[in-house]
């Protein structure tokens, strides 16, 4: 018969209560991190034409599981209106960024948003 000493019992309890439950947590965390930080091409979202001589530009982007039509487009239309009379003589560009392909996934959206801002 197997003789369990206090040291062996403590070691066995530690393995069953700490080490074995931690393995799936660590593997899932590594998998999600690889998925989130995997290199992606954001050129379809971040590259848009800006007219030469533009002096003032506004950019707006929608949030998670959202679209530009919910509020971002309206904001850009409001910016083109004559709200700011001091900007009427300035060449302006207003852009509503549509990044729906990357904002639908809650794991991916924060990293994708940060990469879009700093691109």
Tens of pLDDT, residues 20-70: 999 999 999 999 999 999 998 888 887 888 888 888 888 888 888 888 888
> Would you say the pTM of this structure is higher than 0.85?
no
Q: Is residue 75 assigned to a domain?
A: yes
Contact 119, 102 (CB under 8 A): no
Q: Is residue 87 assigned to a domain?
A: yes
The two structure tokens encoding residue 100: 């729906």
Q: Is residue 94 assigned to a domain?
A: yes
Cβ neighbors of 6 (< 8 A, separation 6 or more) are none
Mean of the pLDDT values across residues 97-112? 85
Which residue segment(s) compose the domain that 84 sits in?
43-117
CA neighbours closer than 13 Å in the CB half-sphere of residue 93: 12
Calculate what percentage of the chain has a pLDDT beyond 70.
92
Q: Using CA atoms, how far apart are residues 114 and 101, in angstroms rounded to an integer?
A: 15
Per-residue pLDDT at 119 exceeds 60: no
Q: Is residue 56 assigned to a domain?
A: yes
Q: How many domains does the chain have?
A: 1
Q: Is residue 6 assigned to a domain?
A: no
Contact 119, 48 (CB under 8 A): no
């Amino acid at each position: 018969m197997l003789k369990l000493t206090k040291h062996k019992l403590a070691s066995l309890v530690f393995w069953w209560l700490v080490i074995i439950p931690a393995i799936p947590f660590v593997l899932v965390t590594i998998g999600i991190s690889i998925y989130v930080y995997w290199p992606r091409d954001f050129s379809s979202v971040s590259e848009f034409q800006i007219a030469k001589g533009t002096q003032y530009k506004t950019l707006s982007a929608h949030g998670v599981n959202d679209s530009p039509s919910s509020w971002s487009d309206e904001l850009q239309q409001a910016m083109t209106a004559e709200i700011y009379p001091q900007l009427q003589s300035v060449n302006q560009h207003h852009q509503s960024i549509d990044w729906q392909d990357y904002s639908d996934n809650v794991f991916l959206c924060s990293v994708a948003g940060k990469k879009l801002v700093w691109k």
